[in-house]
Structure 1
């Protein structure tokens, strides 16, 4: 193909038999010198089995127009009008699109990322539980149940609950209870996974997964705390008291639900909730919030670890009675 292009350029630059002006002769002599110099430049090797070059050659051969047409203006040097003719550049570009782009280009715009996760039956809570998040999560749960009421649903949680990380209230406690009630009403098995943080109401959602299928990443955090009183602003004292009573009611409800799903007593949960109670993955497993830590290779590592009694026996330590 490169040889044909060189022949085309050589034939175009050949001197004409008719007389021409001195300006034209000087240009021809310049072109002849350039062609002689170009002939000494070695051409890079071409792969005859290259599919793109083969396709390009076939399209160029089938094109009714010449690959490099002569300029109709005698005052214009040959081939410099390529930039004025977009059709000339369309042949290789069209081949490139037909070979590598159109074959893999989607026929419609791709969906957003939550839709792709939803296709894998994954519901991801990555924001505080504000009304917009609650609406989307419940809608996704109901949709997945409608699609298949027997397949499990995977709920990934990375949320600070109804508060921000600094403790400021951003949503009512009913937002978390709404998602919890939807989870309890679904026919599907819901597997929960904590990634990052599960704080407050988000910790309740983590513990509300199916027993044996509640997971946590090794470096994730869980925390339970008392509900916060929303900003009262310029409310009268009577309205502030009503809000305080409602917060106490939500606190009692949260304690009962956490005690049910963690299998701890109400007194135990109420005692640790007096102050923010942070849990790493190991502590959350011990407290009953989760059932397993998603640590790749953990089962083999823990199976090779000896028991405390075995460590003491090998170390020659004798445990005294009553100690």
Structure 2
């Protein structure tokens, strides 16, 4: 056994070694012969001068054989790795990712999309016509906010042309607006509606369907109510066109009833103004009952105007005296 160990040790040591190194090799061979009587499996360092780990292992075997033979039996460290002063294992990919830091302003997680950030503040924003994809998202957000907190209010910001485009072409079914309306009515939360930009057709219904006293409108926003429009019939036969026309009339009657309910007007009044598109600015919308308050920088317009002093007060503060009449 000692003969087997002598060849790799002699090959791994340079020829320019001193006489003291030769004495250490002899000592190592004597120890190996002593251990061969007690152990049938003596570790023999492999020989590879280009491998730094194996070279280190051969050097330890030549200088301190006890480090190879007197090893703990139940060691969690991989074999022969504890011969280094401070062994380090390769980090896992997750550890490497956590350790990377580009700068102090870098986010620890990927940023969420904008609707998710608004949802964190309990804000639902309708900024497109009421097509099926928008309806799906809005209803899902309303249900999620009620699930998270059935008592906290929900803020519904509206800037939509309803089920039509700005040029009047139909892009969605009237059922899309009614679906959002029914979801709002089923919620236990207060819903604060705010019109920014435009609230046309079915979007105007959603604006008026907010919690009483919590329906707001920006000063330069527009609201408009109109009759539902029939989608393009194309080359449909006359009976199919008649069926669609009847459905449009049913949707119109439902829209009139709901608007009359939330605006506290009679159905006849709503029906008369809906004969043609009826546009309303913030003041007209409040008078018609679509909204309750007009917002300006987060405050009510009435409060701002009430805080403004009269012209005479301004003149007195400025030290201006009114000239006597001639």
Same fold (TM over 0.5): yes
Match of 1:167 in 2: 168
Residues 1:274 and 2:297 are matched in the alignment: no
TM-aligned CA deviation for residue 109 of structure 1: 1.1
Query: What is the CA–CA distance in structure 1 between the aligned matches of 2:129 and 2:163, rounded to whole Å?
Result: 6
Match of 2:306 in 1: 303
Query: What is the CA–CA distance in structure 1 between the aligned matches of 2:260 and 2:149, rounded to whole Å?
Result: 31
TM-aligned CA deviation for residue 148 of structure 1: 0.5
Query: What is the CA–CA distance in structure 2 between the aligned matches of 1:131 and 1:102, rounded to whole Å?
Result: 42
Q: 1:264 to 1:305 in 2, by over 3 A?
A: farther
TM-aligned CA deviation for residue 102 of structure 1: 3.0
Query: What is the CA–CA distance in structure 2 between the aligned matches of 1:181 and 1:125, rounded to whole Å?
Result: 16
TM-aligned CA deviation for residue 301 of structure 1: 4.0
Match of 2:205 in 1: 204
Query: What is the CA–CA distance in structure 2 between the aligned matches of 1:164 and 1:242, rounded to whole Å?
Result: 24
Query: What is the CA–CA distance in structure 2 between the aligned matches of 1:230 and 1:300, rounded to whole Å?
Result: 45
Match of 1:47 in 2: none
Question: RMSD across aligned C-alpha pairs, in angstroms?
Answer: 1.9
Match of 2:229 in 1: 228
> Counterpart of 2:175 in 1: which secondary structure?
helix
- Displaced runs of 4 or more, over 6 A: none
Query: What is the CA–CA distance in structure 1 between the aligned matches of 2:173 and 2:107, rounded to whole Å?
Result: 42
Query: What is the CA–CA distance in structure 1 between the aligned matches of 2:164 and 2:201, rounded to whole Å?
Result: 8
> Counterpart of 1:183 in 2: which secondary structure?
helix
Query: What is the CA–CA distance in structure 2 between the aligned matches of 1:194 and 1:270, rounded to whole Å?
Result: 23
Residues 1:248 and 2:249 are matched in the alignment: yes
Number of equivalenced pairs = 210
Q: If the length of structure 2 is used for normalisation, what is the TM-score?
A: 0.62
Query: 5+ unaligned residues in a row in structure 1: which ranges?
Result: 1-97, 307-323
TM-aligned CA deviation for residue 107 of structure 1: 1.9
> Counterpart of 2:296 in 1: which secondary structure?
coil
Match of 2:139 in 1: 138
> Counterpart of 1:293 in 2: which secondary structure?
strand
Q: If the length of structure 1 is used for normalisation, what is the TM-score?
A: 0.63
> Counterpart of 2:269 in 1: which secondary structure?
helix
- 1:137-172: CA deviation from partner (whole Å, max 9, x where unpaired): 000000000111010000000000000000000000
Match of 1:102 in 2: 103
Match of 2:114 in 1: 113
TM-aligned CA deviation for residue 239 of structure 1: 0.3
TM-aligned CA deviation for residue 103 of structure 1: 2.4
Match of 1:238 in 2: 239
Query: What is the CA–CA distance in structure 2 between the aligned matches of 1:225 and 1:122, rounded to whole Å?
Result: 27
Query: What is the CA–CA distance in structure 2 between the aligned matches of 1:300 and 1:188, rounded to whole Å?
Result: 27
Query: What is the CA–CA distance in structure 1 between the aligned matches of 2:213 and 2:305, rounded to whole Å?
Result: 18
